[in-house]
Structure 1
Amino acid sequence: MDIGTHTVELDGVLQRYHVHGRGPVCVVHPGGPGVDWAYLRLPALEPHLTMVYVEPIGTGGSGRLPSHPHGYTRERYARALLALLDHLGVATPYVLGHSHGGFVAQYFAQHQADRVAGVVLYGSAPVTGPEHGAEAQRNVAEFARRNAGRPELPEVLAALAATASLSDDDGMTAALRGLLPAYFADYWGREAEFGSLRETVRGTHISGLDTDLVPDTVDDRATLGALTVPALVIGGRYDVICGPRWAHELHELIPGSRLVVLEHSGHFGHLEEPGLFAESVVDFVTG
């Protein structure tokens, strides 16, 4: 597999992806939906794995559906992922999904088990909708309590609230940059490390609705017990959007899964605790 950036037309839609590293293949699906892939570059894994970083359809340099910003369901993302694997000639890679990418990864592992060597569900959950939203609100309230003296706090909370009314790419990017401190365990204490991400992260507005304008909700709690694919679940102790409750639930639901809770991380443990994150993934693959 050639190192570098590639594009291919699959199912009539341009697919862009990036290949780095060497070893067993691991396909990486970022979150959002609609967040540019670059935040999820994992250089600590590249000496051990051939990392294929996907720019999901509708995002970044990949093509858009005729129904954009609608129609980007888990099923459609999974179909794009399967087409990419067929194009690459990769029979059974590892699949690592972060945040919304974790929803895609667990869907893919359930529906294409024979095409997955193992799945890493990172900063994800088994369910979306009101229950997930209420848990996120509790986590945000705890984040606000821990940072009550910060003059920047109102701006971050306003950006979090604005995500409910996004309608274009510029708004998505502005909201991402505004809310980012809430997604770290200690953003302001480590701003010298993470500030550049806040300045450069980009997003595409994806509605979360199917082509009939129905929300593409997730509830895999009744089906994950039948998952036969080896699974690693990684969560951050201070993750506001997919907190440790969901990591524990995924672990309890998936037979034989491994659980790693990063005690000093929020939603971006690969940046906050990169050594432990990489060690956990490599141990999972080699084990």
Structure 2
Amino acid sequence: MPEFAAADGTGLAYQVHGDGPPLVVVPGGPGRAGAYLAGLAGAVGRRSTVILDNRGTGASQAPADPDSYRFERLVDDIEALRVHLKLERIDLMGHSSAGNTALLYALRHPERVARLVLVCPSTRAVGIGVEDFEEALALRSHEEWYAGARSALEAWTGSATIEESVPHRERAAPFFYGRWDEAAEAHARAETHELSPPAAAGFYAGITVDPDDTRAAAATLTTPVLVVTGELDPFPTPATGAKLAALFPHGESFVQPGAGHYPWLDDKETLAEALRAFLARPVHEGLPSDQSAIDLG
């Protein structure tokens, strides 16, 4: 895998899939290696996907400073990757928890982001809660796996540590897939090997980002933003994604029918149609005079 050095010297790795203009993709988890996103490549048209392994995950080195696992610190790694790729501007995608990181990058470096795609994103950075979580779970109550998965989900959310949660994650996983089939099972099972507990535990540890400040900054961002959610995803739900999209002057929400937290696995072509249309849109060159980088810690 190709490698580059972060600003603090940590060696970071990334994967490239496909050909064409790059879409930089940041994985979530938090703390999951980028391999789980490989199937996304077929949903972005005649483009390549550059999938980062966040520090301490996959083929990337663990940092000397564990505080650098925090999502606001990971913003610097996206910038280092952009410089390494010698790109003036990037189309940027963050999935799940990495929605926080990708959003902060766009707010700190608005001149470097042409388009921003947030797929099933965490909304912690902007302080939007998932108010309809229980209702989303109830949508799956007719499934044969529901009772066991519900019990496992409660054990997962009640775990005191990342390590303690690991045995429960795979049993709770059906809630996060639109179809619980062999492909979904294999994808969920791989998390055990792709997850870095230190990176996962450090992602939100001691964060200093103020949600009010982030929301205020989002309201000034002129970058086009697409928020993708799955109709059946309990975290975030479509209503949560719509609230996030509404924060941006040029934000829009796309809800993929029948999809969960990994929409490229549920229906790659439907996701592809939405992504290709959004990424093909022209963007303004340069920035309006009133848009500048925001200091969010």
Normalising to structure 1: TM-score of the pair? 0.84
Which residue of 175, 178, 191 maps to 1:185?
178
Partners of 1:244 and 1:131 in 2: how far apart? 12
Say whether the 8 Å CA contact 1:20–1:46 is kept in structure 2: no
Contact 2:130 2:237 (8 Å CA) reproduced: no
Question: CA–CA distance in 1 between the matches of 2:63 and 2:160?
Answer: 19
Letter in 1 for 2:230: G
Q: 1:260 aligns with which of 243, 254, 262?
A: 254
Alignment of 1:226 with 2:220, yes or no, is yes
State the alpha-carbon separation in 2 of the partners of residues 94 and 184 from structure 1.
26
What does residue 214 of structure 1 align with?
206
Is residue 246 of structure 1 aligned with residue 240 of structure 2?
A: yes
Q: Hey, what does 2:64 align to over in structure 1?
A: 66
Contact 1:163 1:175 in 2 (8 A): no
1:3-31 deviation per Cα after TM superposition (whole angstroms, max 9, x unaligned): xx212222211101011222221100111
Once superposed, what is the RMSD of the aligned Cα atoms? 2.5
Judging changes above 3 Å, is the alpha-carbon distance between structure 1 residues 236 and 217 closer, same or farther for their aligned structure 2 residues? farther
Q: CA deviation at 1:172?
A: 5.4
Note closer, same or farther for the CA distance 1:262–1:155 as it changes in structure 2 (3 Å cut). closer
Q: 2:94 matched to which residue of 1? A: 97
Deviations 1:201-258 (A, max 9, x none): 2311221466xx5256673333321111111111111111111112111221111223
Match in the other structure for 2:13:
16
What is the rounded CA distance, in whole Å, between the counterparts of 2:128 and 2:79 in structure 1? 30
Q: Distance in 1 between matches of 2:127 and 2:207?
A: 12
1:51 counterpart residue number: 49
- From 246, 257, 270, the equivalent of 1:276 is 270
In the alignment, does 2:113 pair up with 1:121? Answer: no
**Which runs of 5 or more residues in structure 2 are unaligned?**
282-297
Aligned amino acid, residue 23 of structure 2: C
Aligned length in residues = 273
User: 1:203 aligned to 2:195?
Assistant: yes
Q: Unaligned 5+ residue runs, structure 1?
A: none
Deviations 1:92-112 (A, max 9, x none): 110011111111111111111
TM-score, normalised by the number of residues in structure 2: 0.82
Asked if structure 1 preserves the Cα contact closer than 8 Å seen for 2:41 and 2:48, the reply is: no
Q: Which amino acid aligns with 2:46?
A: H
Once residues 6 and 209 of structure 1 are traced to their aligned partners in structure 2, the CA distance between those partners, rounded to angstroms, is 24
Deviations 1:126-158 (A, max 9, x none): 336996265434433x256343xx356324532
Residues 122, 235 of structure 2: 8 Å contact kept:
no
Q: Which has the higher contact order (CA 8 A, sep 6+)?
A: 2
CA distance in 2, matches of 1:241, 1:216: 23
Change (3 A) 1:161 1:135: farther
SS at match of 1:17: strand
2:125 and 2:136 mapped to 1: Cα distance? Answer: 15
Compared CA separation, residues 129 and 153, structure 1 to 2 (3 A): farther
User: What is the alpha-carbon distance in structure 2 between the residues aligned to residue 110 and residue 46 of structure 1?
Assistant: 24
Note the alpha carbon deviations across 1:110-129, whole angstroms, 9 max, x for none: 11111111000110143369
Q: SS state of the match for residue 132, structure 1?
A: coil
